[in-house]
Structure 1
Amino acid sequence: IKIQFEEQTIVLSSRRTVKTDGLTVGNQFEVELMSGRVYRAVISAPGYEPAEIQLDYRGAIPSGRTDVRTVYLEPIRPGPQTTEDGRIVPGIVVDAKTGLPLPASVIRKFVGEEVRAVTEVDRNGEFAITVQPGEGFELEARSHGYATKKIHFEESGLEKIRIELEPQGEPCDQGVPECIDNVRIYFALNSSEISAKEMKKIQDMAVILKKNPDIKIEVQGHTDRTYRGPEERAFQYNLVLSRERARTVQQALMKLGISKERLVVKGYSYLRPIVQAGDALKGAVNRRVEFRRIREQ
């Protein structure tokens, strides 16, 4: 953490702690700053993109005021890497019409008629494959609710792979449980009300969950970043809204006969946008609920 005032660095800290879940890295850092000034804070960590925020303490500020900021860093997306087994090339699978990622996708790598690798994408629709120098190969991408696509690639000059799939109906039309990760329930601005169109998706999902009683899902609520106000207030407002959206979907599934114990509700505020957008129109795809199957360890 580096805090600057008028191009001069006045605070520099590298203290870092790991929370008890063993995954989340948090910084328990406190500092006293003078009022009447505007500071620039730069937060960085190995393997993550740095973030910069402005701390404006001009105007009437009560003595002893505490300003709590939470900063989330995005991991650096890997480019092509070389290993003993070949070169690793990153890729992504997206909806051809919207450009949105398709997390419930499977990639198969063919060399000739032989399947050399089978890869699942992550929650961002991203994957990585290993290729050999001078190798020619085909990738087959499958995702429920989309037409399967097979594309030929050459290793030479290949930096990143983007596969666009054409939609064929709704993800869960075929009743396959793997489709759950592709379902998105969209909401109007500042609303947690489910429209009739989105309710059809929930009904399709309820049918699948009834046929597969062992499946538990995480119901994830998300928002856009159009709230105008202080950062902490904006985060809290959107956190409440994201949880309310997730609970609304949870309640809809419960009314359709799905047990509450199978539906874990989580709200992520605006921390997991699909697109980076600050206005209501462009950020509409961020106002959503998504689902992730909970895989027992």
Structure 2
Amino acid sequence: MKNIIAAGAAAALLMGCAGTDTGLSKTQTGAILGGLAGAAAGAATGDHSAKRVLIGGALGAAVGGGIGYYMDKQEEELKKELKGSGVSVERNGDTLSLSMPGNITFDSGKANIKPAFNPVLNDIAAVMVKYPETKIEVQGHTDNVGDNAANLTLSQLRAQSVSSALMQRGVASDRMRAVGYGESMPAVSNDTPAGREANRRVEIIIIPNPSK
């Protein structure tokens, strides 16, 4: 009984503060509220063991955190799996962006994935399969050297190669779309060799599925 009262009081206190500036993000606040509610539910089962209360708190945090929590966990796992691979993982709101430089994924002017990059794609696909409630856009990009139409075609073929590789590894096709942007969306200036190399890339954009 004491566990229920304590958890309920803490939840009520935090709910009262939720409408004010607590310094917490919506995800953090939601997760804490959910965790407290879950802990109270765990205590209310009649088995007041610490393990039961902790399990209830963890499940409640997952529900309370909602989309933000779901994306937090994906970001955490992707960064862990891709550390040292050359693929960067960035977060913007609830959107994740994976940037794969062309020099580690494709030979110059080619759309066939380098064999050495396949283990990295295995890791990416494994996380995507684990978190199915997202939509995925695979984007191909180039620098501004050469013919614009040829660059657009190459970027499309590279995006399709990555998308096909992910599908072969179990990522559902209805979650993904592949699109080539050619030289129209440079990440940095094309004025230097380093800049052009950075722009020759494939990006994977992961967003929450609005229909879920």
Relative to the length of structure 2, the TM-score reads 0.51
Offset at 1:168? 4.7
SS at match of 1:182: strand
Match of 2:149 among 236, 255, 258: 236
- Pair 1:285–1:196, CA change in 2 (3 A): farther
Q: 1:172 deviation in Å?
A: 8.8
Partners of 1:280 and 1:184 in 2: CA distance: 17
**Contact in 2 for aligned 1:183/1:201 (Cα 8 Å):** no
Task: Tell me, yes or no, if the aligned pair for 2:101 and 2:198 is still in contact at 8 Å.
Answer: no
SS in 1 for 2:203: strand
Pick from 100, 116, 133 the counterpart of residue 184 of structure 1: 100
Question: Are 2:135 and 1:216 aligned?
Answer: yes
- The answer to whether the Cα contact below 8 Å between 1:225 and 1:278 also exists between their aligned partners in 2 is no
For residue 137 of structure 2, give the secondary structure of its aligned residue in structure 1.
strand
- Give 2:56's aligned residue: none
**Residue in 1 aligned with 2:123?**
204
> CA offset at residue 289 of structure 1?
0.8
* Greater mean alpha carbon deviation, residues 249-258 or residues 188-197: 188-197
Corresponding residue of 1:264: 177
Percent of aligned pairs sharing the same letter: 29
Match of 2:14 in 1: none
Shift of 1:279: 6.1
Superimposed CA distance per residue, residues 64-101 of structure 1 (whole angstroms, 9 cap, x where no aligned partner): xxxxxxxxxxxxxxxxxxxxxxxxxxxxxxxxxxxxxx
Query: Structure 1: 5+ residue runs without aligned partners?
Result: 1-113, 120-141, 147-166, 228-233
After superposition, the Cα gap between the structure-2 partners of 1:266 and 1:225, relative to the gap in structure 1 and judged at 3 Å, is: same
**Equivalent residue for 1:296?**
209
Question: For residues 86-135 of structure 1, what are the alpha-carbon distances to aligned partners after superposition, in whole Å with 9 as ceiling and x for unaligned?
Answer: xxxxxxxxxxxxxxxxxxxxxxxxxxxx973659xxxxxxxxxxxxxxxx
Q: Which is richer in strand? A: 1
Change (3 A) 1:281 1:188: farther
Look up the match of 1:250. Answer: 163
Structure 2 unpaired stretches of 5+: 1-20, 27-71
Q: Does the CA contact (< 8 Å) of 2:133 and 2:209 recur in 1?
A: no
Q: How does 1:1-297 map to 2 (within 5 A)?
A: 116=23, 118=25, 144=76, 145=79, 168-170=83-85, 181-186=97-102, 187-227=106-146, 234-278=147-191, 282-297=195-210
Q: Which has the higher helix share?
A: 2
C-alpha separation between the residues in 2 aligned to 1:219 and 1:115?
37
**RCO (CA 8 Å, sep 6+): is it higher in 1 or 2?**
2
Structure 2: how far apart are the matches of 1:226 and 1:206?
Answer: 31
Report SS of the residue matched to 1:116: coil
- Give the RMSD, CA atoms, in angstroms: 3.5
Q: TM-score of the superposition, structure 1-length normalised?
A: 0.38
Distance apart, 1:235 and its partner CA? 2.3
